[in-house]
Amino acid sequence: MQEQNIDQYSQMSELPEDVLGPRTYQPGEAMEGEVVRIDQEGIVVSVGLKMEGVVPAEEMRSISAEELSGIKQGDKLLVTIVGGQGPGDMGLLSVDRVREHLWWQELQDAMEHGGMVTAKVTGHNRGGMEVEYRGIRGFVPFSHLAMDSGSADDNLLEQRIGQECQFDVIEVDQDQDRLILSERAIWRQRQEEARIQLFQQIEVGATMPGKVTSVRGFGAFVDIGGVQGLVHISELSWGNVSAPEDVVKAGDDIYVYVLAVDPENKRISLSLKRTLPEPWDTVPERYQIGEVVQGVVTKLAQFGAFVKLEEGVEGLVHLTELSPRHVTDPKECVYQGQSVKVMILTIDSEHRRISLSYKKAFGM
């Protein structure tokens, strides 16, 4: 068929169907036109071929009032042909449709190349969170929400409505008007970056607030602002600890002392007892030789019995100081857990030793 001479037509609306049809213009195909004027009918645009078309109000909803006020004669504007006839026999154009096509392409590119997009949260339902990207509706399933908001807590999701957040694109289908986004990977990456930064900021020797997250047989894990450290059982108390649960429990708010930081292996060693005064530093101020004090038997050994005078301070009652008679086993005189009176015989703060006497406390 002989190619038609389109110069013979003075108006776009006069162009025959085979010129404006899919063989020449694909749906959503972008055309750069020049703004001729803006009037009550819409934006009049010259699209070449010595013809003009009009973008009516219903086809330029994507243009904000601020953007519209800045458009002037001679500006370039991307449009696409809608088809049909507008005011003054001008062809109908659309800014919204060409922009939507380009936005879908942006989403497709982001999915293929691993880019992030910013979308506004508009609502939520039983399956997840509803969002909008440049007027295109999208959805974020619960399984792809950030961990701290990935529950079915309506109040938490309600608070996010209106927020603009970054997402990864995981599914795009313009034909089905389907857009699925995810923020889980972004959240994890940011959490990891925050942890690395915190590791760099934590200083050995610092005292920090924390919350006990779990208690194990070997100690307690404590969250200190987004990273977890371990308080070994030996660092829970100045005294002997048989079970960490005797000192702390999950949910406790405590202060901890930073013993060591290992950024490479992401480990932090903490201490609870070092946030408290070392009891042995002032033992000579609180106890005097010859003084009779109250204590509790904590352990029996072949050579005597250990007696706790206070948390972190224990002394030894030697086998010979248990009774005036000959004793071969401390069980003959005392038992573990017994509350007893003892006399202080010697104090060695440097080596953290106190010698006690059970028999002398009773004048035996």
Q: How far apart are CA 228 and CA 237, in angstroms?
A: 19
> Residues 109, 103: contact at Cβ < 8 Å?
no
The distance from CA 77 to its chain's CA centroid, rounded to whole angstroms, is 42
Domain 279-362, architecture per CATH: Beta Barrel (2.40)
Q: Whole-angstrom distance between the N-terminal and C-terminal Cα of the chain?
A: 130
Confidence band of 149 (pLDDT split at 50, 70, 90): low
198-193-113 Cα angle (round to 5): 175
Q: Encoding tokens for residue 358? A: 């059970």
Per residue in 290-339, pLDDT (tens digit) is: 999 999 999 999 999 999 998 889 999 999 999 999 999 999 999 999 99
- Topology given in CATH for the domain delimited by 100-187: OB fold (Dihydrolipoamide Acetyltransferase, E2P) (2.40.50)
Residue with tokens 């106890």: 287
At residue 14, φ and ψ (nearest 5 deg) are: -85, -10
Residue with tokens 């050994």: 301
User: Domain ranges in the chain?
Assistant: 28-94, 100-187, 202-275, 279-362
> Residues 230, 219: contact at Cβ < 8 Å?
yes
Q: Encoding tokens for residue 17? A: 């169907």
Per residue in 12-69, pLDDT (tens digit) is: 455 554 544 433 445 456 788 999 999 988 999 998 767 788 999 999 988 989 999 9
pTM of the predicted model over 0.75: no
| pLDDT of residue 217 exceeding 80 | yes
Question: Do the domains 202-275 and 28-94 match in fold?
Answer: yes
Per residue in 344-357, pLDDT (tens digit) is: 999 998 888 999 99
Residue 175 exposed, middle or buried by CB count within 10 Å (0-12, 13-18, 19+):
exposed
Per residue in 92-141, pLDDT (tens digit) is: 899 988 888 889 999 999 999 989 999 999 999 989 999 999 989 999 99
- How much is the mean pLDDT over the chain? 87
The distance from CA 205 to its chain's CA centroid, rounded to whole angstroms, is 26
102 CB neighbour count, 10 Å cutoff: 15
- What is the dotted CATH code of the domain comprising 28-94? 2.40.50.140
The strand ranges marked E within the chain are 31-39, 42-46, 52-55, 76-85, 91-94, 116-125, 128-133, 136-141, 164-173, 178-182, 207-216, 219-223, 228-232, 253-262, 267-271, 292-301, 304-310, 313-318, 339-348, 353-357
Helix (H, G, I), strand (E, B) or coil at 100: helix
Per residue in 252-270, pLDDT (tens digit) is: 999 999 999 988 888 999 9
Domain 202-275 classification at class level? mainly beta
pLDDT at 3: 43
